[in-house]
Chains A and B, each alone.
Chain A
Amino acid sequence: MGDELSTAIAVIAATLRAGTPLVFAAIGELVAERAGVLNLGIEGMMLVGAVVGFMVAASTGLTPLGFVAAALAGMGAAAIYGALALNLMTNQVATGLALAIFGAGLAAFLGQSWVGIPLPGMALPFPETLRSIPVAGPILFGHDWLVYLSLLTVAGVAFFLHRTRGGLILRAVGENQESAHALGYPVLRIRWLATLFGGAMAGIGGGYLSLIYTPQWAENMTAGRGWIALALVVFATWRPWRVLLGAYVFGGVTILGLQIQAAGIAINSNLVAMTPYLATIIVLVLISRDATRIRLHTPASLARPFHPEA
């Protein structure tokens, strides 16, 4: 009995950890898309964040500094995208795809000599006394800093988008760029800020993989999470809390698969690897079927280039 309980608690903890990189990457993309920017390059931004964060953390021994570096690196990658897609008005889809490929290559190049190096851990936020409270302790207080930060970010984004004037303006820009411009809002500047935020979040998501989750640098270690983050945003119909739910479904099914394999049950491992992607999308499609709601939350100016005098 006690054994099963502690397994369950371990599964919950592992689920949150597996979901956290997705939460970051997807919430960043959600903000960008709500402003009308479709940045398909999340995978690239995550990898750049992962490798730069790892390099900084490994050479300074300071994991928090690694996260700052990861965020900045993600922003840097997003800035390349912004300059092309926002200022030069290149096609957003093509530019994002290019960024995904470019970021992966750049990260592999930078990380060549960092493969297999160990990292110092990062202290947990809550003291042992809290964490050892039976059941509630590990579930509420047992996680690392970034898990809590991701939850705060989702709450913050949800609050910002729906309760503040800034969020209203951002949504307005994503909904109808010409009207926003006509009302005197700086469409390009708002899109730039949203794009940079998306980059920073993707960078942190990538950093979480290399600094805490694994913690190691390996080439292409994001394993498609950037793409699933992208799908999460769409299937969660651009709503922050659904993104969180989707990320945890993904994390949970991933962990369950590992548990099943660990228990020695014979299932094709490719099937196991595939299931989280499928399960996440099925769950999100089922909860977001209402056509009216989808229409209400889809940013109508998504991926449309903006020129002030069109």
Chain B
Amino acid sequence: MPPLLELVGITKRYPGIVANQDVSLAVQPGEIQALLGENGAGKSTLMKIVYGLARPDEGEIRWQGELVVENSPVLARKRGIGMVFQHFTLFETLTVAENIALGLEPGNAGSDLEGRIRELSRHYGLAVAPQAPVWSLSVGERQRVEIVRCLLQSPRLLIMDEPTSVLTPQEADGLFATLRRLAAEGCAVLYISHKLEEIQALCHAATVLRAGKVVARCDPTRETARSLAALMIGKAPPEIEHRPAESDGPVVLSVADLSLPSVDPHGTALKRVSFSLRAGEILGVAGVAGNGQRELLRALSGEDARAPAGAITLAGQPAGNLDPKRRRALGLAFVPEERLGRGAAPKLSLTLNALLTGKRQSLTRAGLIRQGAVERRATEIVRRFDVRTPGIQAEAGSLSGGNLQKFIVGRELYDGPKLLIAAHPTWGVDVGAATLIREEMLALRDRGGSVLLFSEELDELFLLSDRIAVMFHGMLSPPAPVRQLTPESVGLLMGGAGFEGGVGLAQAH
């Protein structure tokens, strides 16, 4: 039997870079195959070629043994290919149900779509609220929608480009169960992830790309996470040692009894959130996406400046009602949830994106941009954080997901801020670069800076944080020193145990 999908000698060039070079691979029905590679290795590009979003310069695609002459998303979908995109393809102003309906065949969308969405999302372990508009959702919730929409298409080949990058471990486990069942029914899966434990647990085979070329094929069940990492980046990344500290420095950020209704009727209201963060400390915020993290981030960054001035104190100043610019002037640096649109302007060059949040004094003079200084800064960020790009004039939107993330985090860390608030700072970043970013955050702390770290990844939180707090239904648990916590105890808190009315709320959800 011919493979379901076969790629032969695919080459794709972009200005200044060869994204794929002579790549061949084959996928059998029922097989879950991993595609591994560091940031910018060409994984997403290859998948876009299969899905008809990019045209290869050379090479052939064969579907069930037959040469694919013409390709486009329409045709790919007709063949039964479904794709979960690294950068979600959702419509912000439409509701979850409308977004999902758009992903289905006309006849399939039919009556009681909402009921079906609810039922299936529960079945998959990926809760989504059909009536919520997508713009009000956090990235984790968006990722759930993107996945549920794709699964509802009942595809024959599933392409998943980092589907679990912002899911909690429990959600990811639910997804894996679903994928295994689909594979048992004969669906093939092409799976991209930087979480190597996932690859080992889930995939039957792996193809490793480096700089656009296939450098290895292996059976991931026979490898270790470290040996897989070594295949990807040439050497195993250094281990970060866990070194929690107890800080008695001055309080840099304090939030007192912050209650804030959500701007959106489907959002989560913040309920009496209180915590304080000292200089030289990393405070981790855990929680299932959609429990108010997005709202808290917006209130802290200044995007939502409705809070009473005194509810948030930043560097000793009441800051609840200040705009983002003033807060940055007080020493705040911020890595937002969405990298395209909030973290970076996709159509602007890296140089200009470096200017956007840099301390402007040194980058502008009398309102004019000091081109040389900005370019030096962009070059320095690219070098220090190992951003793979043809040059600093490249549009931010043309970078691979992980490389853009490195750039944004690098830009925020560049000045050595007093306080860094970071949401998923290692989202989609490969193992080597994740280590780099984590070391930089620890170094910031050791120099007396503070970090407020929002993450869905418990491993990351436990690795970096000195104290951890958990968000649940808009409430925040009192931060506890990491020594007193275990992943299990945090998991329980995430499920609502220990919160006022918690378990009941969780079940009603």
Interface positions of A (Cβ within 8 A of B):
165, 168-169, 171-172, 175-176, 178-186, 292, 295-298, 300, 308-309
Contact = CB atoms under 8 A, between A and B. Distances in A.
Contacts of B93: 171, 175, 295-298, 300
A182 B73 CA distance: 6
Contacts of B89: 176, 178-179, 182-183
Interface pairs A-B: 9 shortest CB-CB: A179-B89, A184-B74, A184-B73, A182-B89, A184-B77, A175-B91, A296-B93, A176-B91, A172-B91
A180 to B, nearest CB: 8
Please report whether the interface of chain A is mostly helix, strand, loop or mixed according to DSSP.
helix
A171 B92 CA distance: 11
B152 to A, nearest CB: 13
A180 B94 CA distance: 12
A163 to B, nearest CB: 12
Given A165-B106, A184-B72, A295-B135, 15 more contacts: A165-B101, A168-B94, A168-B102, A171-B94, A172-B94, A179-B90, A182-B51, A182-B53, A182-B83, A183-B77, A184-B74, A184-B77, A185-B102, A297-B93, A308-B72
A309 B106 contact: no
A296 B101 contact: no
A176 B85 contact: no
Contacts of B264: 292
B251 interface: no
B195 to A, nearest CB: 24
B13 to A, nearest CB: 13
Residue from A171, A182, A292 with most neighbouring chain B CB atoms (10 Å): A182
11 contacts: A168-B102, A169-B102, A171-B94, A175-B93, A176-B89, A179-B91, A183-B103, A184-B73, A292-B263, A292-B264, A298-B93
A300 B92 contact: yes
Contacts of A175: 91-94
Query: Which range contains the number of B residues in contact with the other chain?
Result: 20 to 34
Contacts of B307: none
A181 B83 CA distance: 13
Nearest to B74: A184
A308 B51 CA distance: 13
A291 B478 CA distance: 35
Nearest to B75: A184
B54 interface: yes
B466 interface: no
A165 B89 CA distance: 18
A309 B57 CA distance: 13
Interface in B50-74: 51, 53-55, 72-74
A289 to B, nearest CB: 15
B315 interface: no
A137 B313 CA distance: 67
Contacts of B90: 176, 179
A300 B93 CA distance: 9
B102 A296 contact: no
Contacts of A168: 94, 98, 101-102
Interface string B261-285: 0011000000000000000000000
B133 interface: yes
A88 B72 CA distance: 20
A165 B106 CA distance: 8
B166 to A, nearest CB: 18
Interface string B108-136: 01000000000000000000000001010
Residue from B54, B102, B109, B263 with most neighbouring chain A CB atoms (10 Å): B102
A183 B102 contact: yes
A210 B103 CA distance: 45
Contacts of A169: 102
A76 B251 CA distance: 68
Interface string B464-476: 0000000000000
Nearest to A291: B263
Contacts of B73: 181-184
A94 to B, nearest CB: 19
Given A176-B92, A183-B103, A296 B133 contact: yes
Contact of A186 (B74, B85, B263): B74
A309 B55 contact: yes
A125 B485 CA distance: 79
A184 to B, nearest CB: 4
B48 to A, nearest CB: 9
A296 B83 CA distance: 27
B490 to A, nearest CB: 34
